[in-house]
């Protein structure tokens, strides 16, 4: 049970006289009809919660025996829990671009890899985000947390230029700046590791102004939570529908937490960070309840990519899935996901195929807004959410962090089958016993492809073609190849934003004229 969130029942109106008893049913029916019409007419609110480097096996509701995630598990037990939900990429920047645009990251040029603090490029302003779609439909929009879609000259790529009215957060990953002398857990436990060196300390931004540098990790989540509660309350007072995009830094390395969660988890520092993330979800649910918005708000939770097993116990768990971050195996891109909307979404579990690419088309349809006039790679998941039909998504294409048109997708899922045409390890997935995951494992072509039945073998252990190709599997391979060819014909690679390079002068500094840089960039 979410702390403080309770279902409240109204007492029935007293009948009084016989006349009152005869009139009451008609009056109640009339009031119920008005309520239904009002609910249908009111635009729903959306809270989009994104975890960072959280694995498929990290939550209690997804099987982890020692994770303390009561609020997320509560959502999962009362909402729709997905078992076959995919990110578009196994690393941060491209997965976030696809989430916000409904388009594979290659189209917007968010490849190869991720943005750095001094990147010249960013998510192109010509791309239409879900915030821009909803803002045009009268929504208030806000983002808190990790952006990681570019900063650029004059902060031109930040969220306030991509459809968000407000932004409180960090422009990139919180390990992209020196952290060895920073406190990650109070009172004074230093961050584990050194993070990136030779660049400015990680800043905290309000819209496009630096309000703190380096950021104070133990104070960060309470600050985000307070802003989020205030934003929700303000929208409720004004009667304005809203989108809140809550992109947490948890559970990315280096883990951190506030005093309330430090030392509280059986999973150590990773568990403390995960517990704080879960607590933030609880505060969001409580804010909706307190403002009378619980039944008019869709809360959707997922993660950007799989766990960084390089960090071992500090890197998360992909459960029974193979490998993790940086790979096109299941552990790199299959994510936990929950859709929660009291009174609208029936509690249950769906095995239908779905993706972060589907978020924009789904929210657009629910809001009654207009889709962007561009090629989209997502589908409206309304039939799945409301139990009226199957998912329109039948395929998923798995691109590596550094995609190119020559190799195309490394893997394709069609129905329950997944074919790997290329495999490659990743440093992010080092230290696991499986050498196929390791960074030194080279790019390997497969002809015929490796073929797995993900319903009976989600761990991708048993290649169906090892014992030969029968007529049924031959037909499966033909269908997968056809989908692959048709998709590649439609895919257009945009100009790479990340290959535009870096400029140290673009690194954010609260004291632009200070010396020596980058270490002098410090303000509190």
Between CA 316 and CA 281 the distance in angstroms is: 19
Give the pLDDT confidence of 129-163 residue by residue, as tens digits: 999 999 999 999 999 999 999 999 999 999 999 99
Axis crossing angle, helix 268-290 with helix 217-238, rounded to the nearest 10: 20
Please give the model's pTM, rounded to 2 decimal places.
0.91
Nearest Cα to 500, choosing from 126, 71, 122? 122
Between CA 157 and CA 348 the distance in angstroms is: 39
Low-confidence ranges of the chain (pLDDT < 50): 1-24, 26, 32-40
As given in the structure block, the two tokens for residue 85 are 């939900």
**Predicted pLDDT of residue 228:** 98
Which one is catalytic: 64, 71, 148, 420? 148
**Predicted pLDDT of residue 8:** 35
**Predicted pLDDT of residue 470:** 87
Between CA 140 and CA 133 the distance in angstroms is: 11
As given in the structure block, the two tokens for residue 496 are 């790479």
Between CA 79 and CA 218 the distance in angstroms is: 31
Which one is catalytic: 71, 92, 184, 521? 92
- C-alpha distances in angstroms, 340 versus 4, 275, 478? 17, 19, 38
**Predicted pLDDT of residue 6:** 37
**Predicted pLDDT of residue 2:** 40
CA torsion through residues 166, 44, 229, 75, sign: negative
Give the pLDDT confidence of 318-338 residue by residue, as tens digits: 999 999 999 999 999 999 999
Give the pLDDT confidence of 159-178 residue by residue, as tens digits: 999 999 999 999 999 999 99
**Predicted pLDDT of residue 315:** 87
Active site residue 195: no
Give the pLDDT confidence of 41-85 residue by residue, as tens digits: 589 999 999 999 999 999 999 999 999 999 999 999 999 999 999
**Predicted pLDDT of residue 380:** 98
**Residue 220 contacts by C-beta under 8 Å, 6 or more apart in sequence?**
204, 249, 256, 258
Active site residue 438: no
């Amino acid at each position: 049970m979410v702390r403080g969130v309770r279902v409240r029942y109204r007492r029935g109106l007293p009948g009084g006289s016989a006349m009152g008893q005869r009139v009451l049913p008609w009056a109640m029916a009339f009031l119920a009809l008005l309520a239904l019409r009002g609910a249908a007419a009111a635009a729903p609110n959306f809270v989009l919660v994104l975890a960072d480097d959280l694995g498929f096996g990290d939550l209690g509701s997804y099987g982890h025996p020692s994770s303390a995630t009561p609020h997320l598990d509560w959502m999962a037990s009362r909402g729709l829990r997905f078992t076959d939900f995919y990110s578009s990429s196994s690393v941060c920047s491209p997965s976030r671009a696809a989430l916000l645009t409904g388009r594979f990251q290659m189209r917007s040029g968010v490849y190869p890899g991720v943005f750095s603090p001094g990147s010249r490029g960013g998510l192109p302003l010509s791309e239409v985000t879900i915030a821009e779609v909803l803002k045009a439909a009268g929504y208030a929009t806000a983002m808190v947390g990790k952006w990681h879609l570019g900063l650029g000259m004059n902060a031109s790529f930040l969220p306030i230029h991509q459809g968000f009215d407000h932004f409180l957060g960090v422009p990139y990953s919180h390990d992209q700046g020196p952290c060895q002398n920073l406190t990650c857990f109070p009172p004074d436990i230093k961050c584990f590791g050194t993070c990136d060196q030779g660049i400015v300390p990680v800043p905290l931004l309000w819209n496009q102004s630096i309000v703190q540098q380096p950021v104070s990790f133990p104070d960060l989540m309470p600050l985000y939570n307070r802003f989020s509660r205030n934003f929700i309350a303000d929208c409720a007072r004004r009667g304005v529908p809203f989108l809140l995009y809550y992109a947490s830094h948890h559970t990315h390395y280096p883990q951190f937490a506030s005093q309330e969660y430090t030392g509280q988890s059986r999973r150590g520092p990773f568990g403390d960070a995960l517990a704080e993330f879960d607590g933030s979800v609880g505060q969001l649910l409580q804010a909706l309840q307190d403002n009378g918005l619980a039944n008019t708000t869709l809360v959707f939770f997922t993660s950007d990519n799989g766990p960084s097993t390089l960090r071992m116990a500090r890197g998360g768990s992909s459960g029974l899935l193979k490998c993790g971050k940086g790979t096109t195996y299941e552990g790199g891109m299959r994510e936990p996901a929950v859709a929660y909307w009291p009174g609208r979404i029936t509690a249950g579990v769906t095995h239908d195929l779905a993706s972060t690419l589907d978020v924009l088309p789904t929210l657009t349809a629910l809001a009654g807004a207009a889709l962007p006039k561009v090629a989209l790679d997502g589908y409206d998941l309304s039939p799945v959410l409301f139990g009226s039909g199957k998912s329109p998504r039948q395929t998923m294409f798995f691109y590596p962090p550094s995609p190119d048109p020559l190799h195309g997708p490394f893997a394709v899922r069609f129905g329950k089958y997944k074919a790997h045409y290329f495999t490659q390890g990743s440093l992010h997935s080092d230290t696991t016993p499986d050498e196929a995951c390791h960074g030194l494992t080279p790019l390997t072509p497969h002809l015929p492809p490796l073929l797995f039945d993900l319903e009976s073998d989600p761990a991708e252990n048993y290649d169906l073609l090892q014992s030969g190709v029968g007529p049924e599997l031959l037909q499966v391979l033909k269908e997968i190849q056809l989908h692959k060819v048709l998709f590649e014909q439609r895919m257009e690679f945009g100009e790479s934003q990340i290959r535009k390079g870096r400029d140290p002068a673009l690194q954010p500094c609260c004291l632009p004229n200070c010396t020596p840089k980058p270490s002098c960039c410090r303000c509190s």
